[in-house]
Copies of this chain bind each other. A is one copy, B any other.
Amino acid sequence: MTPEEFRTYGRLAVDWIADYLERIESYPVLSQVSPGEVRAQLPARPPERGEPFEAVLADLEKVVLPGITHWQHPSFFAYFPSNASGPAILADLLSAGLGVQGMLWATSPACTELEQHVLDWLAELLDLPAAFRSDGPGGGVIQDTASSSILLALLAALHRATGGAARHEGVRGAGGPEGQGDRDREGYAVYASTQVHSALVKASIIAGLGAPAVREIPVDPTTLAMDVAGLREAIEADQRAGIIPVMAVATVGTTSTSAIDPVGEIGEVCREHGIWLHVDAAYAGVAAVCPELRWINDGVGYADSYCTNPHKWLLTNFDCDAFYVADRAPLIGALSILPEYLRNAATESGAVVDYRDWQVPLGRRFRALKLWAVIRWYGTEGLREHIRGHVAAAQEFAEWVRAHPRFEIAAPHPLSLVCFRLRGGEEADEANAALMERLNASGELYLTHTKVNDRVTLRLAIGTTLTERRHVEAAWRRIQEAAAALAG
């Protein structure tokens, strides 16, 4: 493609996106296609000769769009949001145009230095502990997702707990506390509440410990926050059995209900027993950009590692998970590999950071550009406004639910996620599931479910870039209408 063609098609692509975002409310939020429907419209074989770019754009419209669940639709209330924004999209475009690969400082110094710098900015914006800044032994790095951050935290924790032996000897999982998958009574164990993200069990499997090495600590049935006495008991029982506690995960804003674990108390236990503390604030952490929400950082000073996702709720396109460590040595110690073909003077000088040792893959894109553009375009004020609007709308929605005779709030809602349901015991599960299906099939909004104390519960997660109060208001109207229709 010549530069002239690139200019022409680039304009078409930019306009296509602008048009798409202008008409996005005209689409059903949840794609209505059946399995195989998209593929059935695609030619079975790749083309022999090149096709014009217009053909790609035409098929994007005709074949792809009906198969899209519109995450940027302002009435997308499912899962957690995955924010896109103009400055992030365009900075990511610039990154693609530069086409650099920042595995080493030397392979594009700006790619590494801007990332360090912008993650320091973010630490300041969120008022995170000074230990996470790049000017000491710690520092931040962009990962694809919080799942990768949990895995990396576990690898660093194992490295530290074994005095570096893990990379030479491998590791051994503790087996289940009740004997499932048990081989013997030793090995490493990991602790988190029953509400922890599934990424922790996945990380434990990937790291070779196996799923039962994750000890699920009970939660308070009302707050759904970890019971710290239970944590202490589990750790001590394991220690008596010769098992080595290696890491605890405290979640700030669980995926199911946005519950907030008591990070400080968990941190005390971890410190006492020499256990790595990872704080998973994937969704909620960015809310600390607002001073009035900084309480979500309580206890984060105990953390050995921490992550939050600007790609969820801070206007930065996926993927952008900000992962911080208070000491980078165990992370690099766990992952560093230096084959001859990557040796270079800058690395050997020790004066630079090579991010390849901070992640699973070797190669990496220039993702800092988009976070840089977002922070600069919106400024601290704009970022706060984005978060505040959604928190306010969620609190208002919760009031409406609370005031309605047929609905109830199912869990605390400190931020922008509200868990609610039709009142009733077990028999209401079916009605709640039917309500969700009816709403999602309407295409007017999209929300997902969870279980809270074993009852089917709907989740309204507010946070897309385009969501305003009026969309939440319309959602509540539709929810009431659908509930009334279902009731007869």
Contact = CB atoms under 8 A, between A and B. Distances in A.
Main secondary structure of the interface of A (DSSP, over half): helix
Interface stretch (A11-19, A230-238, A400-408): A11-19
Q: How many copies does the complex hold?
A: 2
A182 B169 CA distance: 7
Nearest to A344: B448
A18 B10 contact: yes
A488 interface: no
Contact of A318 (B2, B145, B167, B365): B365
Interface string A51-77: 101011000100111111111100000
A82 interface: yes
Contacts of A169: 173, 175, 181-183, 210, 212
Contact of A105 (B21, B35, B51, B318): B35
B377 A51 contact: yes
A103 to B, nearest CB: 9
A430 interface: no
Nearest to A18: B3
A39 B121 CA distance: 12
A343 B437 CA distance: 13
Interface string A36-49: 11110010011111
Nearest to A368: B64
Given A181-B169, A381-B48, A450-B340, A87 B207 contact: no
Interface in A347-395: 349, 351-352, 360-363, 365, 369, 372-373, 375-382
Contacts of A144: 144, 361, 363
A303 interface: no
A136 interface: no
Interface stretch (A110-118, A264-272, A273-281): A110-118
Given A148-B361, A198-B339, A206-B360, A69 B106 contact: yes
B110 A63 contact: yes
Interface centre among A14, A122, A171, A213 (most CB of B within 10 A): A14
Interface in A87-111: 87-94, 96-101, 105-111
B90 A10 contact: yes
B22 A3 contact: yes
Given A155-B206, A202-B337, A341-B459, A87 B1 contact: yes
A21 B2 CA distance: 10
Contacts of A479: none
A196 to B, nearest CB: 10
A84 B205 CA distance: 35
A446 to B, nearest CB: 10
A246 to B, nearest CB: 12
Given A108-B71, A168-B211, A79 B341 contact: yes
Interface residues of A, number: 163
Given A11-B11, A46-B125, A379-B50, A68 B110 contact: yes
Contacts of A173: 169-170, 208
Interface centre among A36, A352, A377 (most CB of B within 10 A): A377
A235 B126 CA distance: 53
A322 to B, nearest CB: 13
Contacts of A209: 170, 208
B362 A145 contact: yes
Contact of A71 (B101, B113, B187, B349): B101
Contacts of A208: 166, 170-173, 207-209
A341 B256 contact: yes
Given A36-B351, A67-B113, 14 more contacts: A1-B377, A3-B18, A4-B18, A6-B17, A6-B90, A31-B106, A35-B351, A53-B373, A68-B111, A148-B361, A201-B337, A202-B337, A206-B207, A318-B363
27 contacts: A1-B86, A6-B86, A10-B18, A13-B94, A33-B110, A39-B114, A39-B116, A42-B117, A47-B379, A53-B373, A56-B87, A56-B376, A67-B111, A68-B100, A71-B98, A82-B101, A89-B93, A93-B96, A147-B362, A148-B360, A169-B212, A170-B173, A172-B172, A197-B339, A198-B339, A256-B339, A319-B365
10 nearest A-B residue pairs (beta carbon): A208-B208, A67-B110, A1-B86, A10-B14, A170-B173, A17-B97, A84-B99, A168-B181, A170-B210, A50-B379
